Structure 1
Amino acid sequence: MSRPEPPSEPGRGPFDEGAARTAPRYGHGYGRYMGLLGVLLIVLLALNTALSKHNGARGIEPGRRLPPFAVPLATGGLNGDANVATRANEGAAGRRPACAVRGPQILNVCQLYDAGPVVLALFVDAGSCADILGDMQAIAPSFPGVRFAGVALGGDRTALRRLLRTRGLTIPVGIDRDGALATLYGDASCPQVTLAYPGGVVQSRALLTRPPVSTLRARVSELVAAARARGWRPARG
């Protein structure tokens, strides 16, 4: 299996041509900055949630396809902003289409939905938002073939890695350091969980805020049943 070429890696900034493959070391000031960004995102999501109750925003509408993105895995060594390009040379969105940006240290939503149904949580790694990851991991063994994943919007990568390690979380978690997916996915709460069929079409309205585990399990069961009705079957292995 060949290693991904540097231009295949997510996004903008450090992921431009000739960029280093590993995340650079930043000083304490950078960590404080990313922490403040996380707090700001929480405030913005809270405001957005309040506005959503007024204007009816509920994430991606059922029947629409998940917007493509590729972000670095939080536990990997790659560094860069989200690639959200839908075609080549799309400026700040990315030089390559996001669906083509793949590799062992990259979380690519297209790669997820190519393999099966997707349960995707967007969250901020502060407060209780990240608790949804433990809920998803707890029920994942009951749903073979379903792809569970999370993306942290902004925040401090070191703190996120610590959170994943201390909680024993092994589901793939990416980091969107500039929070681009919050707008792209119509994020109206923290966390926000989107459920999609194989192929990326959204199956039902997003779960807003952290649901009871029983509700999460029921919604994933509905997703699997609906995917089976459309002809999907989990791979035997």
Structure 2
Amino acid sequence: MNIKRFIPNALTLLNLLSGLLALISVFNGFYDHAFLFVCLGIFFDFWDGFLARKLNVPSELGLQLDSLADMVTSGVVPGLMVFKLFENIQLNNPNFMLTEETFYMGFVPYLGFLITLASCYRLANFNIDTRQTDSFIGLPTPANALLIMSIPMIEYVDAYPWLTGMLDNPYILLAVTIVSTYLLNAEIPLFSLKFKKFNWENAKLQIVFLLYSILLLSILNFVAIPIIIFSYIIVSVFLNKLSKK
């Protein structure tokens, strides 16, 4: 029995377990715990593919397991997170509850699951799209999950009260939902964030972007996460235009 081929799949299942724990945390209102579990799941998601290549044990089973685990951790969890954020806006704002918009707010929280549906479509498309072997087309589900899960974490940062007020606005949250849903399946080529080889020649772009991300996180805390995600998109678009020239 080749034990090596089970190692990547074990990490994938740990990704799934992290997603399940994140779901429980969101249901119970422990959004900081949910954020940590999603980050842990993304950590396992990174290493399962890397080890599969490193140990030379890639498999069709591993590919399917990876998508199923990502569907929970990076698809269902952010969708539920937006649903709960909309609910909190409605429940915690008594003045808003008395307006005529109350009826519509009862429906709006379910729009959060557009993120889940778009994530599902993206993951299925990724498995059959031969263009995405060395790069991505559309925002990867883990990056999108971090974008969504950072919203309640930003609200915990006292240094940005004006930003917290913006995120408590249902129209801004709806706009974030729509943008997120669009970016997941947009025809935007993005460079891969995964390291296939840990050396400067093969991974200089990823290394520079990682250092940039660490610097932003050390300065801006959770506020850095959406900036990093949109920087990733902007840099990719710029590099694409540069390569065409």
Greater C-alpha radius of gyration: 2
| TM-score, length basis structure 1 | 0.29
The structure with more strand, counted as a fraction of residues: 1
Q: Which has the higher helix share?
A: 2
Higher relative contact order (CA 8 A, sep 6+): 1
Question: If the length of structure 2 is used for normalisation, what is the TM-score?
Answer: 0.28
